């Protein structure tokens, strides 16, 4: 059956946050985000889907309009390529357009979906094999008062969540109070990340790290905006660091590792060009002995399905936490599959992404290639 790409269609839909207001450092607030879906149809009739949903326009160098403009450049060049060869499609995308990994991610995931269907295997089988039947999910706790954040954590614990990512990056001493309040509400075996999302200056990060020193089962995530500042935080404090936004390729991961600046890495599909790039950094991170977390900036069922397969194919000892974005958003294109259960997630068993997209919910494409 031919897996040659015959048609590429682009769709958009709106994803609203289940918690109302998602608050991060720097006054960044998200209530609703625009997601872009790619549908690839092959000559043999297989249909693959992928999704990209940047977290607004001031989180990473990415935005919804940029994803769509980039995909309009990429899609015509991808017609005729073999969707069952995602590495070759990724190389062709790089030859067409530099950068824009978040846009490429959607097309990359759609090609992996086709490859899985062509092979008759769930994607986790092709990404290294299913290493674990289920894995721990985390939930982000929006920046708020220490009492409110602690109450949110208590609610999530009652629902089975044992991994928490606090949105910090405000006043460093108040952030330490927030972190302490939450850690006290957790128990051994649980993990708390204090994620500043690049929001602290070096000075504020060092103040926060000193004030949080000694907190058990606690790590700081992405304290400052640049790798160099994070290296200084690692050098001048005792805080264990997880890096996220500044790890964009093999080179940045190796530099951070050589600097002894991280104990873990948070991998987002959209920041790394999709499953092809994220798989490479996942394998490298595991080989370096790092804790590896797998997620995306934002997204719905399709993003969650892609994330679930990379997570399921990661060794249990290395996989730190995973986000099921479809638990954070109200709209569901595939019946809210895969679905979390008591704080844990699993990858679907069906071929490819293993989810059934409701074409009616997807609606009409805003662009189709080749153009009629």
Contacting residues toward Mg ion, per CB under 5 A: 195, 221, 244
Are 289 and 312 a contacting pair, CB within 8 Å? no
Residue 214 burial by Cβ neighbours in a 10 Å radius (0-12, 13-18, 19+): exposed
What's the closest the beta carbon of residue 264 comes to Mg ion, in angstroms?
11
| Residue 66, number of CB atoms within 10 A of its CB | 18
- Work out how close the CB of 266 gets to Mg ion at its nearest, in angstroms, rounded to a whole number: 5
CB of 113 or CB of 195, closer to Mg ion: 195
> How far is Cα 249 from Cα 246, in angstroms, rounded to an integer?
9
Helix/strand/coil for 195: strand
CB of 156 to Mg ion, least distance (A): 17
Min dist. Cβ of residue 47 to Mg ion (A):
32
Given a contact cutoff of 8 angstroms between Cβ atoms, the answer to whether 311 and 137 are in contact is no
Nearer of residues 107 and 168 to Mg ion, judged by Cβ: 168
Q: Is 20 exposed, middle or buried (0-12, 13-18, 19+ CB in 10 A)?
A: exposed
Helix (H) / strand (E) containing 72: helix 64-78
Alpha-carbon torsion angle 86, 296, 130, 253, nearest 10: 80
What is the C-alpha to C-alpha distance for residues 319 and 339, in angstroms, rounded to an integer? 19
- Distance CA(245)–CA(59), nearest Å, equals 9
| Inter-residue contact 89 to 153 (CB < 8 Å) | no
We find the least distance from the C-beta atom of residue 262 to Mg ion, in angstroms, to be 12
Residue of minimal Cβ distance to Mg ion? 244
What is the 8-class DSSP label of residue 34? Answer: E
From residue 180, how far is each of 148, 201, 224, 245 by CA, in Å? 13, 21, 20, 24
Cβ distance to Mg ion smaller for residue 195 or 301: 195
**Measured from the CB atom, is 9 or 244 closer to Mg ion?**
244
Distance of CA 127 to the CA centre of its chain: 16
d(CA 169, CA 25): 5
Question: What is the C-alpha to C-alpha distance for residues 249 and 300, in angstroms, rounded to an integer?
Answer: 25
CB of 7 to Mg ion, least distance (A): 36
Enzyme catalytic residues: 167, 268
Query: 125 or 244: whose CB is closer to Mg ion?
Result: 244
Q: CA–CA separation, 337 vs 352, rounded Å?
A: 13
**From the CB of 225, what's the least distance to Mg ion, in Å?**
13
Give whichever of 134 and 320 is closer to Mg ion, judged by the CB atom: 320
Residue closer to Mg ion by CB (options 42, 329) is: 329
């Amino acid at each position: 059956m031919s897996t040659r790409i015959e048609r590429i269609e682009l769709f958009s839909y709106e994803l609203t946050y289940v918690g109302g207001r998602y608050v991060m450092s720097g006054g960044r607030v998200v209530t609703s985000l625009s997601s872009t879906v790619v549908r690839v149809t092959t000559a043999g009739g297989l249909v693959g889907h992928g999704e990209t949903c940047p977290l607004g326009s001031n989180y990473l160098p990415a935005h919804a309009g940029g994803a769509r403009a980039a995909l309009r450049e990429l899609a015509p060049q991808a017609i005729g390529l073999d969707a069952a060869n995602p590495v070759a499609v990724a190389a062709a995308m790089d030859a067409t357009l530099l950068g824009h990994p978040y846009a490429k991610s959607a097309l990359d995931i759609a090609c992996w979906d086709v490859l899985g269907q062509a092979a008759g295997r769930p994607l986790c089988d092709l990404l290294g094999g299913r290493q674990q039947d289920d894995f721990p999910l985390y939930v982000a706790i929006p920046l708020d008062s220490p009492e409110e954040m602690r109450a949110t954590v208590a609610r999530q614990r009652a629902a089975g969540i044992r991994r928490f990512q606090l949105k910090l990056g405000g006043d460093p001493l108040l952030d330490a109070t927030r972190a302490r309040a939450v850690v006290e509400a957790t128990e051994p075996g649980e993990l708390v990340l204090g994620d500043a999302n690049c929001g602290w200056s070096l000075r504020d990060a060092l103040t926060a790290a000193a004030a949080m020193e000694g907190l058990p089962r606690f790590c700081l995530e992405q304290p400052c905006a640049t790798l160099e500042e994070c290296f200084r935080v690692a050098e001048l404090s005792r805080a264990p660091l997880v890096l996220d936004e500044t790890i964009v390729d093999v080179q940045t991961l190796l530099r951070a590792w050589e600097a002894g600046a991280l104990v873990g890495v948070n991998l987002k599909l959209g920041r790394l060009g999709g499953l092809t790039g994220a798989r490479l950094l996942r394998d490298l991170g595991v080989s370096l002995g790092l804790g590896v977390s797998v997620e995306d900036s934002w997204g719905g069922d399709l993003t969650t399905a892609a994330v679930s397969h990379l997570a399921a194919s990661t060794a249990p000892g290395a996989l730190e936490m995973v986000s099921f974005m479809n638990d954070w958003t109200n709209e569901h294109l595939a019946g809210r599959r895969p679905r979390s259960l008591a704080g844990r997630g699993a990858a679907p068993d069906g071929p490819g992404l293993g989810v059934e997209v409701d074409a009616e919910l997807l609606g009409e494409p805003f662009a189709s290639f080749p153009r009629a």
